[in-house]
Structure 1
């Protein structure tokens, strides 16, 4: 699997961290995850644990939630 630095979660966390004036290390400390996890999250590692992603997102007042996708997107998932 390839990493996607531009996925929605990676971009959200990176942008919100910078808006908060935090380094990756500071966000890791505040959210209770390791620095390696923050780096991998922001770099778009594809197989991170959802509970840890939620730990970081909760700091910004968000959580992972199911989102409906279009039929076209669903058809393209196998591409």
Structure 2
């Protein structure tokens, strides 16, 4: 599996099986990307050895990159 999106979706599937999807109380607005999806994206980047966020966001498809900006990704990570 060399595809970033395929890895992301597989890790997200496993995380959904083992945890609850609840928003933490510190979030005032409902985010476009859920906490579990952010964790899945972080784990996918680590799994694939992507150290640079710039490189990660260049590889993201339009579906994921429209949900989250780099600054929001950094804060929530």
When normalised by structure 1's length, the TM-score is 0.37
Higher relative contact order (CA 8 A, sep 6+): 2
Higher-helix-fraction structure: 2
Please say which structure displays the higher CA radius of gyration: 1
